Structure 1
């Protein structure tokens, strides 16, 4: 099938590449000429395990193309995916200016029947606005359908999530669009992955509801972690006991310094805003967001207290900058909040992250970066673990202790076991234990 992907950010690039890898002819369209030039040279704008190899292979085999030519890309395709950003607006709602701008371009250039797919995370009712904008922008009436097909790609696991998803959600109005979309996903469905056909508004809701539920679990376990510390319980054991209940399950019950990224923070606020617009209570989601914002900051007062309120000139090492492992995404990363707060108290920040260094330099000032985790520890007054990269788990503890000025660890992701770290001579602080 002939597919156009509009927007070569995280969702667009992964989606387009994976469709090309299934044998489709795919054009990825973006207005950012530098990004398109870089992609045509094989340079990736994001870090995602395995993505560069797939891009290179499918570009070489002439199934995947990158262009800034809107007219060509829109007229080329049978199916057009809208994969542009929906940033948070000032009032917490999703800003649809890019989505509707693309819809206007589609209406302007489309020359025959197209299936227009909302892949971006958008509020309920967006498909109606996209239809209206396309119709308004057409010089001649041309038939089309708008479909909602939300993405459920986890950064760091995106290719796996595309090829082996828990479910494929397709919101449609017409039998013709339904047939096109089922044919598009036929190869994935054959592997036993379910396709859920819904109305468009239900599909739009499923994405927001899913992310809000996962964020709720994280804030819930983080709030319980504070209680566990006060009563002497272990939040990891509590979470394990909860997760063994088949009605609950173990996922997204890891206490830490809060969630980040491009989805959970924005989607929780946007769904809360939608609830308010329809005069429905949003108390739960408001609390989820509030707990998370407080959780990002909770570790700094502990560091401040340990040093008797004086962090001026202290060398504090931060391991992990990306909002989670296996990505270089710094959007809404807890590390940014933590580092800014530590610097405000006068600390000197040294940092290591396996892949997010380049992105971090665009956001953080006055940070000294290191190429290896141990290098950062030399003469450190404290170590703060913010992102749970696997390589941190089994590093030589004796070497870590010997390199530090004072062996103090604030473990924001419960990477280590308290008894083991104390045995190695560390002053060890964790979350909920």
Structure 2
């Protein structure tokens, strides 16, 4: 069944969700307060790099199934369901800033004159949905005939289109069978593919998303702690992780030691969860998250210190090549990037940092230089740092690069390079938590 769907907010989440809803057959209008972003999307272009997104935008803006606007009057009574896909950035003290969501409610609600379902997709502290519903009903002419549901997203940057079209689970936080029925119509195609569905209350839906983020962050910080242990004891963290991964209770995913996690979502979402846990006096959860954050930040400091150590204790004036600027491969997102944190630390220590990334573009600044190729970055480098695991870095020719570098030293901050091949080419390869013979 074809529905009329509005998506409020057209950032990373909203643009992907709008394109995905059009792809599964719905008529979609995306709305945003930013006219420049709307113009870009309406032309079928993506304002971000995300694999597979732009082809969907091109296809469905041309077909007329997907369009964009800045005018709430176009969507208020037109849509069968309104999705809230707005950012919840970190506010003072790390608490989630809900002003974008509140502003959207304030703009939409006064125009709702008939029974309407509004569905939140944003990551929010538990209790937010009920507060927004009160605000919605107080402002809407339709009053209690307007209902709020929560359907959190579980998108991985670099795989967001795939996760939208073929989700690994759907969470429907609802208060009525009517809301549930409508959401099942929205997601009719994924549901025909036996996608698992969790039907629950609003609070559980909010917590499922934040718990997922917190658990993944904890898993990453755990393996990085074990990398430190392997480093101290002479063990190999990759073999350790492989062995743990065979245990079905644990699994291998997110057990990749290295620089840790970053991006615009995971760090701020777990911090907001810690703040909310403190407010609700669940101190044990807040303390766990604080430990996870400390380990994550410590990995970045450890790699910067290791770089200084490899250059004899002083990097003043040293040319350092950094491979990678995005927080992970498959995206141009540099928010809270571990690679850039390391680069900034080394710059502050006096190094001349040169960065290459295949997608991320850095704002012009004096701190370091961004170049267009790996060769440019490595030429004259006294040490090379592999900090974002783009596939192209795993296929580099260490012999050719060795002819360009001043010193053949590479720190593999993601433990993804084939160290024997690099060592055979005369490089010293340093990997935290790995025996040097492997």
TM-score by length of structure 2 reads: 0.96
Structure 2 residues not aligned, in runs of 5+: none
2:370 alignment counterpart: 369
Instruction: Tell me which of 202, 210, 214 is aligned to 2:204.
Output: 202
Corresponding residue of 1:315:
319
- Cα distance in 2 for partners of 1:116, 1:103 equals 9
Determine the structure 2 residue equivalent to 1:258: 260
Q: Is the 8 A contact 1:100 1:129 kept in 2?
A: no
Q: Give deviations 1:47-75, integer Å, cap 9, x for gaps.
A: 11111010000011101001101122222
Residues 112 and 365 (structure 1 numbering): CA distance in 2 closer, same or farther, change over 3 Å?
A: farther
Q: Distance in 2 between matches of 1:399 and 1:419?
A: 16
Q: Give the Cα separation in 2 of the matches to 1:134 and 1:119.
A: 16
Q: Hey, what's the Cα distance between the residues in 1 that align with 2:204 and 2:402?
A: 54
CA offset at residue 257 of structure 1? 0.8
Distance (Å, rounded) in 2 between the aligned partners of 1:95 and 1:408 = 43
2:339 is paired with a residue of what secondary structure? helix
The residue that corresponds to 1:192 in the other structure is 194
Give the drift of 1:142: 6.1
Greater Cα offset, 306-315 or 249-258: 306-315
Match of 2:29 in 1: 27
**Could you report, residue by residue, the CA deviation over 1:180-230 in whole angstroms, capped at 9, with x for unpaired residues?**
011111111101212211111111100000010000000000011011011
Report if the CA contact (8 A) 2:24-2:165 is conserved: no
1:83 counterpart = 2:85: yes
Q: For residue 283 of structure 1, report the CA deviation from its aligned partner.
A: 1.5
Cα deviation, residue 139, structure 1: 4.7
Aligned length, in residue pairs: 430
**Regions of 4+ moved over 4 Å:** none
Higher alpha-carbon deviation: 228-237 or 160-169: 160-169
Q: CA deviation at 1:341?
A: 0.7
Provide the residue aligned with 1:101 in structure 2: 103
CA distance in 1, matches of 2:114, 2:172: 22
Which of 306, 310, 322 is equivalent to 1:306? 310
Q: Does residue 437 of structure 2 align to residue 417 of structure 1?
A: no
Q: Output the CA distance in 2 between the equivalents of 1:142 and 1:287.
A: 43
Provide the secondary structure at the position in 1 that maps to 2:180.
Answer: helix
Aligned to 2:379: 378
Residues 383-392 or 301-310, more deviating = 301-310
1:403 partner SS: coil
Could you report, residue by residue, the CA deviation over 1:306-325 in whole angstroms, capped at 9, with x for unpaired residues?
22222122111111110000
Deviations 1:96-155 (A, max 9, x none): 111111111121121222110110001111111111111232356361110010000101
- Work out the CA distance in 1 between the residues paired with 2:392 and 2:380: 21
**Distance in 2 of aligned mates of 1:233 and 1:158:** 36
3-state secondary structure, aligned to 1:406: coil
What residue ranges of structure 1 are gaps of 5+ in the alignment?
Answer: none
Asked if the contact 2:45/2:58 (under 8 Å) is kept, the reply is no
Q: Deviations over 1:228-251 (max 9, x none)?
A: 011110000000000011111100
- Alpha-carbon distance in structure 1 between the residues aligned to 2:271 and 2:378: 38
SS in 2 for 1:104: helix
Gap change, CA 1:20 and 1:365, over 3 Å in 2: farther
User: Is 1:350 matched up with 2:354?
Assistant: yes
| Aligned-partner Cα distance in 1 for 2:325–2:373 | 14
Query: How far apart are the structure 2 equivalents of 1:57 and 1:42?
Result: 8
- Higher mean Cα deviation, 233-242 or 275-284? 275-284
Contact 1:322 1:356 in 2 (8 A): yes
Q: Greater shift after overlay, 278-287 or 414-423?
A: 414-423
Q: Which string of whole-angstrom CA distances, capped at 9 and with x for unpartnered residues, describes residues 330-380 of structure 1?
A: 1111122111111111111111111112xx226x54322222212321111
SS of 2:321's equivalent in the other structure is strand
Which of 209, 212, 215 does residue 214 from structure 2 map onto?
A: 212
More displaced 10-residue stretch of structure 1: 131-140 or 243-252: 131-140
| 1:338 equivalenced with 2:342 (yes/no) | yes
Q: Whole-Å Cα distance in 2 between the matches of residues 141 and 225 of structure 1?
A: 55
- Counterpart-to-counterpart distance in 2, 1:38 and 1:57: 14
Could you tell me which residue of structure 2 aligns to residue 325 of structure 1? 329
